[in-house]
Amino acid sequence: MSRIFERMRGIYTPVTDIRRKILMEIVSFVLEQRDRKEIGALPFQIIQMGKPLYRCCSYREVSIVRQRIRLALGLPLIEEMDGRSALEDIDSAFSEEKVIDAPLVQVIRAACEKCPEDMVIVTDKCQACMAHPCSIVCPRNAISFPEEKAYIDQEKCIKCMKCVEVCPYAAITRMQRPCAEACGVDAIDSDENGYARIIQEKCVKCGLCIVSCPFAAISDKSEIVQVLYTLSNTQTDVHAIVAPSFVGQFGRKVSPAAVFEGIGKLGFDDVKEVAYGADCDTELLSEKITSIEGFLGTSCCPSWVMTARSYYQEYSDNIAESYTPMVETAKIIKDAQKGAKVVFIGPCVAKKHEALMPEMAPYVDHVITFEELAALFVAFGIDLQKIESSETIQDASALGRGYALAGGVGEAIMETARQKFNINHISFERADTLEDCRKMLNRIAKGEINPDLVEGMACPGGCIGGPGTLSPLRMVTRQVREFAKASSHHYPQCISGLPPEAQQ
């Protein structure tokens, strides 16, 4: 069976909807310059009292929304379960200063339904049949028939799935906790009360649990309010740098140039493709692959890098040390213009985490997702479909723009190594989703595969499958490819920190 995030992918559920409604309301709240004391009224614009849709009562729904609002403001989570109002001390959020800090991804316990961690259960379809092959194939003798249906002793069950496979009625099924199933690094367990708990030391902030929890109990923090304040400060130049996966996120009829122009209308002074930073990385890695011993691992996905480094310390040196395309792009701007601010816009939760690292923090001021960007467009009343832009964007190569897709990073490095250094035989392995990344590294460790180049991506399908995206994968893939073809140059052109226009 396909995995949790693949099953739910592309379906617009109430989980997605509540997240977006909250973002929309908060942005409007700031734009309308409403009195901060009125923030307590916001949950009631989102939840209709007396008509609970998803919980036992609307009071609980309101309480959860208050906690979600707090995280959307970028503030540390206060759980009302602990006896405090989630909307106290919110003043620090209304500033252009960075307020988000670790932990970035958290469980809101009031929203967590404490679903079973992992168990094989017998459903009502069971007929307690004469053949009962389930109990016969069970290697632990865990199945008995006390009443009208089979009973599985959970203490004995080892989840080998043999009973599931043989049942003539397909009456036995495995029930897994969706957040834990989505997590590729086993970072989710339960606390003493049965609520899901994120083990922060293990978590690599990929964000897949956020979009996989069917009860919207896991959330990251947003910088959307601080970005609004940054934009309203006319004294500073604010640059938006946009990840390669932006293409097609706002509908098929919205051109990349229209997205850039829309971002400009929000008040950004300049917009640049992060695919340019990707080009710099391609050049660096295609040169590095000529000299490294063992394999070279890509460095653009922070969740993959964290996973590879912490689970496979012996391969730590194999993962490229280079900055990610986000930081490479931000660096060019910051080096050229002191005092400028940089906001990264991407599909990614892990980039929010990356920008918190002391080494990266000077380059990237804030990080928002495409979903958060869309909330800005909606609140500002900007309809991208109505923008007819005649501008063409030429910040990056075709290969750099391909970084958005699984396999694109490896392709860029291999093609560039071939063209620049005449290296033709690079054996390449790649994986998307952290579970598959770990399988790949295991195979390398066992010597089953022996690649020169290894690409890892945390999200299914690559960055276009990220938790902060808006559009279905297949639609975006086509448009990313078209935009890559439209580039004036196929191979990267990254000349020692100079932006492309300065080279001409």
Q: Where does this chain touch another protein (CB under 8 A) — which range of 109-117, 138-146, 203-211, 378-386?
A: 378-386
Q: In terms of Cα–Cα distance, which of 266, 212, 210, 207 is closest to 242?
A: 266
Report the distance separating Cα 456 and Cα 314, nearest Å: 17
> Can residue 375 be called a binding residue for another protein (CB under 8 A)?
yes
> Can residue 385 be called a binding residue for another protein (CB under 8 A)?
yes
Report the distance separating Cα 66 and Cα 61, nearest Å: 9
Q: What kind and span of H or E run contains 392?
A: none
Q: Phi and psi at residue 428, in whole multiples of 5°?
A: -125, 135
Shortest separation between residue 255's beta carbon and another protein, angstroms = 13
Whole-angstrom CA distances from 406 to 6, 324, 390, 403, 459 are: 15, 16, 30, 7, 9
Binding test (CB under 8 A) with another protein, winner from 252, 439, 478, 485: 252
> Can residue 250 be called a binding residue for another protein (CB under 8 A)?
yes
Report the distance separating Cα 9 and Cα 208, nearest Å: 11
Binding test (CB under 8 A) with another protein, winner from 24, 77, 423, 426: 24
What does DSSP say about strands 218-219 and 106-107: parallel, antiparallel, or unpaired?
Answer: antiparallel
> Can residue 472 be called a binding residue for another protein (CB under 8 A)?
yes
Binding test (CB under 8 A) with another protein, winner from 133, 194, 251, 294: 251
Within 10 angstroms of residue 302's Cβ, the number of other Cβ atoms is 24
Q: Where does this chain touch another protein (CB under 8 A) — which range of 12-20, 49-57, 129-137, 305-313?
A: 12-20
Shortest separation between residue 87's beta carbon and another protein, angstroms = 23
> Can residue 31 be called a binding residue for another protein (CB under 8 A)?
no
Q: Where does this chain touch another protein (CB under 8 A) — which range of 162-170, 199-207, 246-254, 446-454?
A: 246-254
> Can residue 29 be called a binding residue for another protein (CB under 8 A)?
no
Q: Where does this chain touch another protein (CB under 8 A) — which range of 300-308, 359-367, 379-387, 457-465?
A: 379-387
Binding test (CB under 8 A) with another protein, winner from 60, 475, 489, 499: 475
Shortest separation between residue 250's beta carbon and another protein, angstroms = 6
Within 10 angstroms of residue 313's Cβ, the number of other Cβ atoms is 9
Binding test (CB under 8 A) with another protein, winner from 198, 218, 228, 374: 374
81 vs 382 by CB, closer to another protein? 382
Q: In terms of Cα–Cα distance, which of 38, 40, 33 is closest to 94?
A: 33
Binding test (CB under 8 A) with another protein, winner from 83, 339, 381, 447: 381
Q: Which of residues 254-273 bind another protein (CB under 8 A)?
A: 254, 262
**Residue 429, strand partner residues:** 454
What does DSSP say about strands 143-144 and 151-152: parallel, antiparallel, or unpaired?
Answer: antiparallel
Shortest separation between residue 212's beta carbon and another protein, angstroms = 16
24 vs 129 by CB, closer to another protein? 24
Shortest separation between residue 272's beta carbon and another protein, angstroms = 21
> Can residue 16 be called a binding residue for another protein (CB under 8 A)?
yes
> Can residue 51 be called a binding residue for another protein (CB under 8 A)?
no
Q: Which two tokens stand for residue 89?
A: 């001390």
Report the distance separating Cα 20 and Cα 13, nearest Å: 11
> Can residue 83 be called a binding residue for another protein (CB under 8 A)?
no
Report the distance separating Cα 436 and Cα 182, nearest Å: 12
Shortest separation between residue 6's beta carbon and another protein, angstroms = 14
Binding test (CB under 8 A) with another protein, winner from 134, 206, 241, 384: 384
- Helical pair 370-380 and 224-232, crossing angle rounded to 10 deg: 50
> Can residue 253 be called a binding residue for another protein (CB under 8 A)?
yes
Instruction: Kindly determine how many residues on this chain lie close enough to bind another protein according to the rule CB under 8 A.
Output: 28
> Can residue 478 be called a binding residue for another protein (CB under 8 A)?
no
Shortest separation between residue 227's beta carbon and another protein, angstroms = 17
Shortest separation between residue 478's beta carbon and another protein, angstroms = 12
Report the distance separating Cα 497 and Cα 98, nearest Å: 26
**In this structure, are residues 280 and 399 in contact, taking their beta carbons and an 8 Å threshold?**
no
**In this structure, are residues 122 and 171 in contact, taking their beta carbons and an 8 Å threshold?**
yes
- Helical pair 370-380 and 14-31, crossing angle rounded to 10 deg: 50
Q: What would you measure as the largest C-alpha separation in the chain, in angstroms?
A: 81
Helices (H), 266-324: 275-288, 302-311
- Residue 7: strand, helix, or coil: helix
Per CB under 8 A, residues contacting another protein are: 10-12, 16-17, 20, 24, 250-254, 262, 374-375, 377-378, 381-386, 470-472, 474-475
